[in-house]
Structure 1
Amino acid sequence: MPVHTTATRQEWLAARLALLKAEKELTRRSDELARQRQDLPWVRIDKAYRFDTDEGPASLADLFAGRSQLIVYHFMFGPDWSAGCPSCSAIADGFDGVRVHLANHDVTLTAVSRAPLAKLKAYKQRLGWSFPWASSGDSDFNFDFNVSFTEQQQGEGIDYNYERDSHAMDMQPVPPPVAELAASCGTDAPAYSRDRPGISTFVLEDGVVYHAYSTYARGVDGIWGMYQWLDRAPKGRNEAGIWWRRRDEYGRSRSAA
């Protein structure tokens, strides 16, 4: 027998209509938040960032690929790691489908990481991705946009997501999930925690690049496709600990992954 509440169709419909009202309120609020994001002032970027890309050395303006808007996903992949973050990898599994539509709406989607380009290309081939992915290893880009931190910053306390971070990644002793994720990337927890996820957006007008918006931590949840589906599944997220893996690791033991 089900342990969840059961009901008649009429009782279900009454409960569903009540929930629909709350869903509509959330949708309207989400629309208003989107408008407020668009109303944020832009900040001119004069610093000359350099990236390594499949097409060769590139500036931030080059990453726009001829379009006027750029969305950067800050993918956690440190210079010395052997693999990218599993969480970022799960998010990136949705990039190739959506980027085609964005490109035809004057928006370029790209990932940026500190790992060398050769590592990014090998990892992208492993997981069957084709979206653009630039290495920022030789620039301050990740540090300036608050997704990478030095050991000194880590020791003093990291300002992440616009406040002094109290994220699980900085807790002592290290939480088992953080240690598990770090090990899966071929690194330790402190090194793993010096890179963080985020999204930054930029606009190009009259040859000038402006920073428009950045979000971090739970602010990235909205583009994590599998969770949008799970939030609508009968049992929701129904998770305990780190259950997801890179797409080619399901069916393998944790020790073999």
Structure 2
Amino acid sequence: MTHPVVSREEWLAARRLLLEQEKEATRLLDEVRARRRALPMVAVEKDYRFTGPDGPAGLADLFEGRRQLIVYHFMFAPDWEEGCTSCSLLVDNIGHLAHLHGADTTLALVSRAPAEKIAAFRARMGWQVPWYSSHGDDFNYDFHASNDEQVAPVEYNYYDKAALERRGLHFFTKGEGHAASVFVRDGDGPDARVLHSYSCYGRGPELLVGTFNYLDLTPSGRQRHISEFPHHDRYGAASGGTCH
């Protein structure tokens, strides 16, 4: 233990100072959330095709009849035998979907791995969240969660390839990346439009990892980088994880 041990009065003074910083951060976050909600939207024109537990599906089908759709781009490339450990940590933290559904919002996972691999890994992890394969489709490339300059111009976290390389982020110029995208259904029936409202990358989806929020309350903090958390069925058998 490296933390100083002080009197209750000294601790209270330090805690009150931190409280002011926490309130300032909360107010700033409220402003960011308001600006996120107010972002303009872009109509999705392409007919994306997925394979889910019930067979072929289009992007509109992923809404399951609700108005809003949150897609987590789960890192699972076609040649991988299991999904990314960091993404798995995030999915482990998804709560009961009834609360999202009650807010007219659907959450779904999308990966480039074939549907058969997804189904096997989903069963292994014991997850119930809907998970679709975009294998052979441009969806992940168009929303910049996957990068291959043979398929589409490289872009990640709103930086092109040159900007990523200037920042030393070469590992984001090829392959899979952490990402989440939000869509809104405008209208009803077959003529309803799908609109894209928001996407975030890198550490952006980190706000969905409840484990981190708990650990951030403790003196020891997160203790590991997100990539060092193993699949939940491998604790005791591995010291960390990988996203390949």
TM over 0.5: yes
Closer/same/farther in 2, CA of residues 46 and 220 from structure 1, 3 Å limit: same
Partners of 1:29 and 1:159 in 2: how far apart? Answer: 28
Q: Residue 185 of structure 2 aligns to a residue in which SS?
A: strand
Which residue of 2 is the match for residue 176 of structure 1?
none
Tell whether the 8 Å contact from 1:113 to 1:136 is kept in structure 2 after alignment. yes
Using the TM superposition, give the Cα deviation of residue 228 of structure 1 relative to its aligned residue in structure 2, in angstroms: 1.3
Tell whether the 8 Å contact from 2:70 to 2:183 is kept in structure 1 after alignment. yes
Partners of 1:91 and 1:105 in 2: how far apart? Answer: 21
- The aligned runs of 1:200-239 (5 Å cut-off) are 200-206=181-187, 207-239=192-224
99-108 or 61-70, which moves further after superposition?
A: 99-108
Tell whether the 8 Å contact from 1:151 to 1:194 is kept in structure 2 after alignment. no
239-248 or 17-26, which moves further after superposition?
A: 239-248
- Amino acid aligned to 1:201: V
Partners of 1:132 and 1:169 in 2: how far apart? Answer: 31
- The aligned runs of 1:37-186 (5 Å cut-off) are 37-95=36-94, 97-150=95-148, 152=150, 158-163=154-159, 164-166=163-165, 170=170
- Amino acid aligned to 1:17: R
Using the TM superposition, give the Cα deviation of residue 73 of structure 1 relative to its aligned residue in structure 2, in angstroms: 0.2
Task: Tell me whether 1:195 sits opposite 2:191 in the alignment.
Answer: no
Which residue of 1 is the match for residue 21 of structure 2?
22
- Structure 1 segments unaligned to the other structure (5+ residues): 172-188
Tell whether the 8 Å contact from 1:71 to 1:200 is kept in structure 2 after alignment. yes
Percent identical among aligned pairs is 44
Using the TM superposition, give the Cα deviation of residue 170 of structure 1 relative to its aligned residue in structure 2, in angstroms: 2.6
Partners of 1:77 and 1:169 in 2: how far apart? Answer: 20
Q: Residue 144 of structure 2 aligns to a residue in which SS?
A: coil
TM-score (norm 1): 0.84
Q: Residue 61 of structure 1 aligns to a residue in which SS?
A: helix
Tell whether the 8 Å contact from 1:45 to 1:208 is kept in structure 2 after alignment. yes
Partners of 1:17 and 1:149 in 2: how far apart? Answer: 46
TM-score (norm 2): 0.88
Q: Residue 76 of structure 1 aligns to a residue in which SS?
A: coil
Cα-Cα RMSD: 2.3
- Structure 2 segments unaligned to the other structure (5+ residues): none
Using the TM superposition, give the Cα deviation of residue 230 of structure 1 relative to its aligned residue in structure 2, in angstroms: 1.5
Tell whether the 8 Å contact from 2:51 to 2:132 is kept in structure 1 after alignment. yes
Tell whether the 8 Å contact from 2:186 to 2:194 is kept in structure 1 after alignment. yes
238-247 or 199-208, which moves further after superposition?
A: 238-247
Partners of 1:237 and 1:217 in 2: how far apart? Answer: 17
Q: Once the two structures are superposed, what CA deviation does each residue of 1:129-178 show, in whole Å capped at 9, x if it has no partner? A: 01000001131100000011226479x9x42100132577735xxxxxxx
Closer/same/farther in 2, CA of residues 82 and 151 from structure 1, 3 Å limit: farther
Provide the aligned length of Structure 1 versus Structure 2.
233
Tell whether the 8 Å contact from 2:86 to 2:227 is kept in structure 1 after alignment. no
Using the TM superposition, give the Cα deviation of residue 94 of structure 1 relative to its aligned residue in structure 2, in angstroms: 1.6
Tell whether the 8 Å contact from 1:230 to 1:237 is kept in structure 2 after alignment. yes
